[in-house]
Amino acid sequence: MFFQALLQVLSSSNTWQNALQFAALLLLPALGGVISERSGVVNIGMEGMMLIGAFTGVYVAVNTNNVWMGLICAIICGGLISLIHAVVSINFKANQVISGIAINIIALGLTSYLLFVLTPEHQGFPQLAASLRIPTPNWGPLADIPFLGAVLFQQNLIFYLALLILVGIHLLLFRTNIGLRIRAVGEHPQAADTAGVNVRLIRYWCVVGSGLLSGLAGAFLSLGIVGIFNANMTAGRGFIAMAAVIFGKYTPLGAAGACLIFGLGEALSYSVSLQGAGIDSNLIGTIPYLLTLIALVGFVGRTVAPAADGAPYEPGSE
Amino acid sequence: MAVPTIQRETSPARPPTSRLLLWLRKQGPRVGRPFFAVVLSILIGSIVILISSPGSFGDRLTTISDAYTALWAGSFGDGFSLSNTLVKVTPLIFASLSVAISFRAGLFNIGAAGQIVVGAMAADILALKATTWPGWLLVPSMILISMLAGGLWGAIVGFLKAWRGAHEVVTTIMLNWIAFYVTDYFIDGPFTAPGGVNQTNALPLQARLPRITDIYNATLGQFLPKADPYMYLVDVGFLIALLALGVYWFISKRTTFGYEIRVLGENPKAAVYAGIPTKRNILLVMAIAGAFAGLGGALHLMGQFPYQMVATTSRVDTTGFDAIGASLLGMNTSIGILLGSLLFGGLRSASPLMQASGISGDIVLVLEALILFCMASEFLPALRRVLPDWLRIMPARAASPATATPAPLPVEESGEEVLQEASTKKAGDDGTSLKEE
């Protein structure tokens, strides 16, 4: 009974279309998390950065009547809020976890507050018109391929952008000089510093990069998938992305694989026919976190964080 | 700016005063940082309102003063508000104790949110299953099972940390969300109330805690004017919270275990050399932390809200995160935790009332985040470096971040680093304070 329902759901192109869409949504902040953690800055503020991006995207898109302006401003504001995290944790040597929590709280507070202050009658934004949403590119005949067409060629524009960014960040981290420096700064900042690498600058760029990517993901959520902004609409996706970073062993491709699994989990939790077979969507919701715990415990190859992850760097320290 | 001068004049001549001043001087930095954090957050909060609110400059200034007036009136302004604040403060104290006792051991527990939920859920399930039990049996059983469940939830973190080296920040985040989803499953599934309103059936009457006013009316109220129980909602859970603060003080200051976890927190390597059973203590301290938070969740359920809806995925309750702020602000001391919880509880409780007076109550979240930023980072020492000499109010010891945050985040195999950092910081502090004196 259950397996029949599961099989039926898994063979539907709709499930996989949703799964890839959610996976791309998780992938963007997860990639940001990968570069930030690889450079040695713990980032649990991705949830808040996404929320800021989601809000800014809708606010700017509605006010300028231009979705692209919304998208760009969402990315920039995601970067700006991450700049707070960067300054506080790199320059002022704050505890990076507390700073990340504060980013999440301030993003929740600020977006809810501004949603109240900046919208007419304090009623929030209306549902966005189709022209104010990020479009789905038309792939012509490719979109008509039976199964693959729906899954791969009817996705939102940001989905393809996320794939490009995935390849880009993988190459950046493992095939370029800059990537080598990022990893060195995260593993042994003193050695990197001795070799002439500007530790703080690299960390700044990586944290801001994670903010830009999270802002993009937020805009993808509000302007692309949902078409509206609600208070706290990210609903823990930043934390799932963080789980994906760890589950993917701090590599871009690993994180992408984790996002695919978690995205499929989310798509399954929305499936009505599975709920009919007695599987509760809430219990499916625990899957990403359970898997990550198992990965941490290390029954199947333990996940180890970069050596200097979370430790502020002081020039001249041993 | 006056403190050092006064001290120089009085210290040789009048020993008693000087002892007081020395004490003040010792305590000053501990108070200075939280005080600075609160003041700065109020200032920046004003700027946020100034920028975002509509109208002329004068209007905006009025909005700011309205906002803070509403904040004060809604939190501590009158008996009704104060009572509502104490209602919010009760679970916050328990959650802060959970965070603080793990801070003491150098562990960063951001899982209070999950532990609260698990404790409340366990108590709820027991009460809904054992409806026929009398109150004298049911209430203690609920308290016990909530502590057990919360403790178990915390112990998972301790176990994974001590034996598998999994970082507690990550595991607590994961366990939080698992707790939220599992609670949602129970609320939507087996224990859902008829009508599908995202809550369980109400607790049986004998499982609920009396309000403080009820007790007062039954005893002193016989002779004195009675209090209105619907006006003052705070229940005996608050008194239990005060008791828990005492228990926390006793554990951390008067027991061997408390000493051991402090050594563990301040210098893990020394703890190992001293033969302190590190792994066992990590497990135990996380279990105690979880028990505190779980109890808080259950008492909130029993005293205030007899439907299990404490924190779920659909309705995020921020107590677990406020607790981090409260225990940071309170520097992990009992009295500090009480004050920090009062502050954050007050912010929370005023928030809906601010909404009613036309200012979005979400601004209190911004204030809270700013306080966190200030407490976590070395703004104050950095500011002192920039300030001219005559403005340097606090002695340089305030700079020590070791008093504010438990330790630099324990990284895998970081015992050595922690040790070195601690020693360099100590050296730096002593150097600067010597220079000033």
| A138-172: pLDDT as tens digits | 888 887 888 888 888 888 899 999 999 999 999 99
- The reply to whether B422 touches chain A by the CB within 8 Å rule is no
Give yes or no for a contact between A34 and A252, defined as CB atoms under 8 angstroms apart.
yes
- The reply to whether B66 touches chain A by the CB within 8 Å rule is no
Q: CA A133 to CA A156: how far, in whole Å? A: 10
| Cβ contacts of B202 within 8 Å, gap of 6 or more | B193, B306, B307
Q: CA A144 to CA A133: how far, in whole Å? A: 23
Set of chain B residues whose Cβ sits within 8 Å of the Cβ of A232? 316
Q: CA A209 to CA B264: how far, in whole Å? A: 36
pLDDT of residue B398: 40
Give yes or no for a contact between A71 and A56, defined as CB atoms under 8 angstroms apart.
no
Taking an 8 Å cut-off on Cβ atoms, the answer to whether A93 and B378 are in contact is yes
Instruction: Measure A8 CA to nearest chain B CA, in Å.
Output: 24
Set of chain A residues whose Cβ sits within 8 Å of the Cβ of B411? 305, 307-311
pLDDT of residue A11: 79
Give yes or no for a contact between A91 and B385, defined as CB atoms under 8 angstroms apart.
no
Set of chain A residues whose Cβ sits within 8 Å of the Cβ of B174? 243, 289-290, 292-293, 296
Set of chain B residues whose Cβ sits within 8 Å of the Cβ of A305? 167, 411-412
- Which among A243, A296, A297 has a CA at the least distance from the CA of A266? A243
Q: CA B151 to CA B211: how far, in whole Å? A: 27
pLDDT of residue B434: 33
- The reply to whether B59 touches chain A by the CB within 8 Å rule is no
Give yes or no for a contact between B229 and B83, defined as CB atoms under 8 angstroms apart.
no
Taking an 8 Å cut-off on Cβ atoms, the answer to whether A94 and B54 are in contact is no
Joined together, the tokens standing for residue A299 give 């029954």
Instruction: Measure A92 CA to nearest chain B CA, in Å.
Output: 5
Set of chain A residues whose Cβ sits within 8 Å of the Cβ of B360? 112-113, 116-117, 122
| Cβ contacts of B412 within 8 Å, gap of 6 or more | A304, A305, A307, B165, B167
Tell me what ipTM this predicted complex has.
Answer: 0.84
Set of chain A residues whose Cβ sits within 8 Å of the Cβ of B171? 293, 296
Taking an 8 Å cut-off on Cβ atoms, the answer to whether A97 and B362 are in contact is no
Set of chain A residues whose Cβ sits within 8 Å of the Cβ of B355? 116
| Cβ contacts of A195 within 8 Å, gap of 6 or more | A184
Set of chain B residues whose Cβ sits within 8 Å of the Cβ of A289? 174-175, 177-178, 181
Q: Which of B117, B183, B329, B372 to mutate to test the interface with A (most CBs of A within 10 A)?
A: B372
Q: CA B324 to CA A98: how far, in whole Å? A: 8
Set of chain A residues whose Cβ sits within 8 Å of the Cβ of B415? none
Q: CA A36 to CA A159: how far, in whole Å? A: 22
Taking an 8 Å cut-off on Cβ atoms, the answer to whether A105 and B174 are in contact is no
Instruction: Measure B370 CA to nearest chain A CA, in Å.
Output: 7
Give yes or no for a contact between B107 and B287, defined as CB atoms under 8 angstroms apart.
no
User: What is the number of other CB atoms lying within 10 angstroms of the CB of residue B294?
Assistant: 34
| Cβ contacts of A95 within 8 Å, gap of 6 or more | A89, B108, B376, B377, B405, B408, B409
Q: CA A312 to CA A237: how far, in whole Å? A: 26
How far is the CA of A89 from the CAs of A37, A43, B136, B376, B378, in angstroms?
13, 10, 51, 9, 9
Rg (CA), chain B: 23
Which of helix, strand or coil describes residue B211? Answer: strand
pLDDT tens for chain B, 437 residues: list them. Answer: 444 444 444 444 455 567 777 777 777 667 778 888 888 888 988 888 888 877 788 888 888 888 888 889 888 888 888 998 999 999 999 999 999 999 999 898 989 999 999 999 999 999 988 888 898 899 999 999 999 999 999 999 999 988 888 888 889 988 998 998 898 888 877 887 777 667 788 888 888 888 888 888 888 777 777 777 777 888 899 999 999 999 999 998 999 999 999 999 888 888 889 888 999 999 999 999 999 999 999 999 898 877 766 555 556 677 888 898 899 888 889 999 999 999 999 998 888 888 777 777 788 888 888 888 888 877 666 666 666 555 555 444 444 443 334 444 433 333 333 333 443 343 333 333 333 33
pLDDT of residue A299: 55
Nearest residue of B to residue A296, measured between CA atoms: B166
Query: Over 90: is that where the pLDDT of A57 sits?
Result: yes
**Residues B265-284: b if buried by 16+ CB within 10 A, e if exposed:** bbbbbebeeeebebeebbbb
Q: Between residues 157 and 176 of chain B, which touch chain A (CB distance below 8 Å)?
A: 160, 164, 166-167, 169-171, 173-175
pLDDT of residue B395: 46
Give yes or no for a contact between B40 and B379, defined as CB atoms under 8 angstroms apart.
yes
Which of helix, strand or coil describes residue A270? Answer: coil
- Taking the model in full, what pTM does it have? 0.83
- The reply to whether B181 touches chain A by the CB within 8 Å rule is yes
Q: CA A178 to CA A185: how far, in whole Å? A: 10
Instruction: Measure A10 CA to nearest chain B CA, in Å.
Output: 23
- The reply to whether B103 touches chain A by the CB within 8 Å rule is no
Query: Over 50: is that where the pLDDT of A233 sits?
Result: yes
- The reply to whether B189 touches chain A by the CB within 8 Å rule is yes
Taking an 8 Å cut-off on Cβ atoms, the answer to whether A95 and B376 are in contact is yes
Taking an 8 Å cut-off on Cβ atoms, the answer to whether A93 and B366 are in contact is no
Contacts 24+ apart (CB under 8 A), A69-77: A70/A132, A70/A219, A70/A223, A71/A134, A71/A216, A71/A219, A71/A223, A74/A215, A74/A216, A74/A218, A74/A219, A74/A222, A74/A223, A75/A212, A75/A215, A75/A216, A75/A219, A76/A212, A76/A215, A77/A52, A77/A53, A77/A215
- The reply to whether B259 touches chain A by the CB within 8 Å rule is no
Set of chain B residues whose Cβ sits within 8 Å of the Cβ of A317? 420-421, 424
Q: What is the DSSP string of B67-126?
A: HHHHHHIIIIISHHHHHHHHHHHHHHHHHHHHHHHHHHTT-----HHHHHHHHHHHHHHH
Q: CA A258 to CA A311: how far, in whole Å? A: 26
Instruction: Measure B273 CA to nearest chain A CA, in Å.
Output: 22
Joined together, the tokens standing for residue A175 give 């095939």
- For B178, the closest of A93, A118, A286 (CB atoms) is A286
Taking an 8 Å cut-off on Cβ atoms, the answer to whether A289 and B401 are in contact is no
pLDDT band (50, 70, 90) for residue A137: confident
Taking an 8 Å cut-off on Cβ atoms, the answer to whether B366 and A110 are in contact is yes
Q: CA A251 to CA A106: how far, in whole Å? A: 29
Q: CA A17 to CA B154: how far, in whole Å? A: 38
Set of chain A residues whose Cβ sits within 8 Å of the Cβ of B420? 317-318
How far is the CA of A101 from the CAs of A14, A289, B90, B380, in angstroms?
36, 18, 22, 20
Number of CB pairs, chain A paired with chain B, less than 8 A apart: 179
- For B409, the closest of A97, A113, A307 (CB atoms) is A97
